[in-house]
Amino acid sequence: MPGTYTVIWDYNDENGNISHQNQTVTITNQPLPTATSPQTFCIQQNATIDDIAITGQNIKWYNQLTTGNLLLNTVPLQNGTIYYASQTINGCESERIPVTVTIQNTLAPTGDTSQSFCASQNPSLSNLIVVGTTIKWYDSATLGNLLTDNTPLVDGKTYFVTQTENNCESSNRMAVTASLINSLPANDYDFSICDDLNDGAEYVKLEDFNSYLISNTANYNFGYYPSLSDAENEVTSNKITTAFNYKLALGENRIYIRINSNTPCYAIAVLRISLFPKPIIPIEDIVPICENKSILIDAGSGADSYLWSNGKNTQTINIDNHGDLSVTVTKTYGTLSCFSDKTFTVKTSNIAKITSIETKDWTDNDNSITVFVTGAGDFEYSIDGTNYQNSNQFSGINSGDYTVHVRDKNGCGTATEEVYLLMYPKFFTPNGDGFNDTWKIKSSETEKDLTLKIFDRFGKLLKELNSNSNGWDGTYIGQTLPATDYWFVATRKNGKEYKGHFSLKR
């Protein structure tokens, strides 16, 4: 053990010679060798104990701190193993120091093994994207030449890359094949749809068509423009901002779509969406048919096929009875078929039957006529045969003779009946000049069974007339009566009376 010791010497030769002596002895440790720990070696070095860096004399290596086995310098190093070293000076071996060994096995970089670039970019190795540290490029999977980062990429060529960690380059190389393209693999697309509401417009989401223009849409950005020039120059002010709800017009709608990649490469694809109208079926919801007659129903011209609910497949059909019907009309545009459906009711209509006419007359111009009818038709009314109205009442009309017309709007006939609005002269002048020489009810000759009685102011009956009379000449039993007011009572066939008065002037 290290330390200072005293050695005592006693001498006796048995002949009476005796000696005593003390001697001091100092024992010290040998100095340790020096080395750093841990020490790292690259796996491809195939390092041995002899490669461990250490300073000392007559180095010996062991597999334990004490005792253990002496190791040869040619023993291969193992990752994570601790080795123990001593040195020997002047024949004295020191204690041992530990050295931990790490074997670095650097993996190859990671990334896409196939990478594409636009040829106009003039890409080089520096444009290849890999994940790793201290990247090196080679032209071969093993050995080969080290390439500089500015080496131009060649279309279809495979390059090999390593990374270095802790000064150890990966033994395996990742292969990356470069593709140089003149443009993106985009294509135009044509699409046709029907105008669902036949209103001349339809709305679509332009993004829904991206996958028809180019595959792997997630790798690209899309911009929508109304012209090729706008798309080429990415004119922001003209960019379509309603791509999520784009309005189509009838006919061809052309949209220019710029497809940008993560490289300077881009493509312009043309999206052509054609909007076609559905057939218009000119049939009303209610189709009238005159009683005991037939009607021709037309589903409209220009279509490619017709299918009626009664099995007919022609443009027109003849119908002779009422009921519900439907028709499907189809128009074909290339491979697109647009169709419309129409359900309608055939309804019986007929000529009107005038049941009564109610009049209010005895005025010059504020008379009225009300017509009452029966029948299954849709009727309109006139008192001159030219101007018709939906109302069955006419008011504010002059007295006189009228013909009431009741016409079925569906063309099933017109019923007519004469009506007379009576009125009387306010005065007459029986002076023999040929003007207003007699007094009678206007149009009385047209109303059969009309009776008229004329009285003086005292109620004396002076004259009684019927509808065929020529009128009163202003005399009573051959005697000329004086100029004054006279009264009358007009009685119609239905017993209704009208009373009034007028003047006799001379």
Residues 397 and 439 in one domain: no
Task: Say whether both 122 and 145 belong to one domain.
Answer: yes
232 and 305 in a common domain: no
Task: Report the alpha-carbon distance of residue 242 to residue 232 in Å, rounded.
Answer: 19
Do 270 and 194 lie in a common domain? Answer: yes
Q: Which segment of 47-56, 74-83, 182-191 scores lowest on mean pLDDT?
A: 182-191
For residue 342, being part of any structural domain is answered with yes
* CA dist list (Å): 106 to 51, 103, 164, 451: 19, 10, 7, 134
Q: Give me 247's structure tokens.
A: 């309005």
Pull the structure tokens for residue 300. 């409209």
Band (2; pLDDT cuts 50, 70, 90): low
* E strand spans, 215-285: 221-225, 246-249, 251-260, 266-277
pLDDT of 5 above 80? no
Can you tell me the mean pLDDT for 250-256?
A: 97
* Whether residue 259 has pLDDT greater than 80: yes
Contacts of 242 (CB under 8 A, 6+ apart): none
Residue predicted with more confidence, 16 or 2: 16
Instruction: State whether 345 and 358 are in the same domain.
Output: no
Residue 26 has pLDDT above 90, yes or no: no
Per-residue confidence band for 277, with pLDDT thresholds at 50, 70 and 90? very high
- Percentage of the chain modeled with pLDDT above 90: 74
Q: How far apart are CA 261 and CA 274, in angstroms?
A: 28
Global pTM reads 0.50
Question: Do 264 and 120 touch, CB atoms closer than 8 A?
Answer: yes
Distance separating alpha carbons of residues 483 and 504, to the nearest angstrom: 5
Q: What is the pLDDT of residues 328-353, one digit of tens each?
A: 999 999 999 999 999 999 999 999 99
Q: Are strands 286-290 and 379-382 parallel, antiparallel or unpaired?
A: unpaired
Please report, in angstroms and rounded to a whole number, the separation of the first and last CA atoms in the chain.
181
Q: With respect to residue 463, please indicate whether it lies within any of the assigned structural domains.
A: yes
Choose between 156 and 441: higher pLDDT.
Answer: 156
Residues 394 and 413 in one domain: yes
User: Both 438 and 415 in a single domain?
Assistant: no
Rounded to an integer, what distance in angstroms lies between the CA atom of residue 410 and that of residue 385?
16
Could you tell me if residue 2 is inside a domain?
Answer: no
Residue 425 has pLDDT above 70, yes or no: yes
Lowest mean pLDDT among 1-10, 124-133, 281-290, 316-325: 1-10
Backbone angles phi, psi at 380, to 5 degrees: -135, 160
Residue 445 has pLDDT above 90, yes or no: no
Residue 398: phi and psi, rounded to 5, are -75, 160
Residues 261 and 211 in one domain: yes
Give CA–CA dist 184/277, Å, rounded.
35
Band the pLDDT of 303: cuts 50, 70, 90.
Answer: very high
Do 199 and 240 share a domain, yes or no?
A: yes
Give yes or no: residues 413 and 454 share one domain. no
pLDDT at 376 over 90: no
Average model confidence (pLDDT) across the chain: 92
Torsion of CA 431, 433, 435, 436, to 10 degrees: 10
Give the residue carrying structure tokens 């078929």. 337
Q: Is the pLDDT of residue 25 over 80?
A: no
> What is the extent of the structural domain holding 363?
353-421
Domain ends where: 104, 130, 146?
Answer: 104
* pLDDT at residue 20, as a whole number: 75
* 443 contacts: CB under 8 Å, gap ≥ 6: 399, 400, 401, 420, 421, 422, 423
* Residues contacting residue 487 through CB under 8 Å, at least 6 positions apart: 454, 455, 456, 457, 459, 499, 500, 501
Q: What's the confidence (pLDDT) of residue 192? A: 97
On whether residue 34 sits in a domain, the answer given is no
Q: Reduce the DSSP state of residue 44 to 3 states and report it.
A: helix
Q: What average pLDDT does the segment 403-417 reach? A: 93
Buried-state track 462-479, b at ≥16 Cβ within 10 A, e below 16: bbebebebebbebeeeee
Q: Is 91 left (phi over 0), alpha (psi -120 to 50) or beta?
A: left
Q: What is the model's pLDDT at position 467?
A: 84
Give residues with Cβ within 8 angstroms of 308, minimum separation 6: 299, 317, 325, 326, 327
Average pLDDT rounded to a whole number, residues 107-111: 96
- pLDDT of the residue at 442: 84
Helix (H) or strand (E) holding 395: strand 393-397
> What CA–CA distance (Å, rounded) separates 75 from 379?
121
In the prediction, which pLDDT does 190 show?
Answer: 97
State yes or no: pLDDT of 263 exceeds 80.
no
**pLDDT tens-digit map of 33-74:** 999 999 999 999 999 999 999 999 999 999 999 999 999 999
State the alpha helices, DSSP H only, in 407-477.
Answer: none
Structural domain includes residue 26: no
- Final residue before a domain boundary, out of 277, 309, 335: 277
Domain CATH for 488: 2.60.40
Report pLDDT for 1: 59
How far, in whole angstroms, is CA 279 from its chain's centroid?
23
Q: Is the pLDDT of residue 195 over 80?
A: yes
Mean pLDDT of 422-426: 87
Confidence band, pLDDT 50/70/90 cuts, at residue 208: very high
Instruction: Examine the domain organization and report whether 253 and 292 are in the same domain.
Output: no
Strands 201-204 and 246-249: antiparallel
Structural domain includes residue 394: yes
DSSP for 133-162, written as a single string: SS-EEESSSSS--EE-TTPBP-TT-EEEEE
Boundary residue ending a domain (257, 277, 297): 277
Q: Is residue 9 part of a domain?
A: no
Residue 19 lies in a domain: no
Cβ distance 408 to 379 under 8 Å? yes
Pairing of strands 97-104, 39-42: parallel
- pLDDT at position 130 is 97
pLDDT category, 188, cuts 50, 70, 90?
A: very high
Whether residues 297 and 227 share a domain: the answer is no
Q: Are 290 and 350 in contact (CB under 8 A)?
A: yes
C-alpha span between 192 and 252 (Å, rounded): 9
Instruction: List the beta strands (DSSP E) in 278-392.
Output: 286-290, 295-298, 305-308, 316-319, 323-333, 336-349, 353-360, 367-374, 379-382
What's the domain count of the chain?
6
Is pLDDT above 80 for 226? Answer: yes
